Structure 1
Amino acid sequence: MDTGVYGAVAAFGASFLFARIIEGSLVGILDIGGAIQTGVGLGGPALLLGAGFVFPVANFIASLITGLVIGLAIGYIIILARKFTINQSDSTYGADVMMGAGNTSGRFLGPLIILSAMTASIPIGLGSLVGALLFYIWQKPITGGAILGAMILGSIFPIAIS
């Protein structure tokens, strides 16, 4: 950050994002979402800072608006690219198998997240447990509830870093 050279970060973010868009039909939706967040979250600010635009990164409201504009632009590009390529054929290119495997393995992630949250702190662990229980009652995957519950109580009862 001190040198003002952001080329490596911008290249990493852009390549990570581009690779996931290209192989989009072969990976799960969470992998694509994470790649987009990584690409935009690292590559976008690096490109802006490298070009000398500090305001969209330094100002919180401006950064939210900038992220919204970049996110919408990338979303529309992905929708258009998929509309004119993959949606023209009857093949799913294995996406149904990969997403099914990701969803099946994701079921085992919820209990691991709860256990990990409990080792972090009691309030975070309880938040994770309550969130997972609520999602279970709503017949949704408990992984999302565990993460949201841990995040909510983790923001109220943060862990002191020494």
Structure 2
Amino acid sequence: MSDTSSAYRTVVVGTDGSESSLRAVARAGAVAGASDATLVIACAYLPSVDDDREFARAQDALGEDAYQVVGSHPAEDTVRTAAERAGAAGARKVRTVAVEGSPVEALLDVVRREDADLLVVGNRGLAGIKGRLLGSVPADATRRSQVDVLVVHTTG
């Protein structure tokens, strides 16, 4: 951070609309509210697919990442719902963005564009051998982030 204050100025959190990710959004909202920071809620999405067969192929290719939002309209709905959750948790200044691309790339891009100083991610995908071997959104984002990362315990 460029100033000497310890408070965060801009907090970025990602959501895919799942209950787990909305718990991370609520925590990010509370942190942003306590710091009087701007909260930027991001949702990464894949371009819409025209038919069910193509969607099924996309889900097969994504495997456990099939929770990724497909289409910009669902992504807009997702961030609108998340903004309500963040406001209820204490965030006073909230902006939302829907970004086409993979979750990690989209989050890191938003952090850079917004000059954020905190990235909040849920811990979904961190547990288990598959997460350790293949990586996950929170692990990848944490490893590659140039700013502080808060990993929120959002899963059972």
Larger RCO, structure (CA 8 Å, separation 6 or more):
2
Bigger share in strand:
2
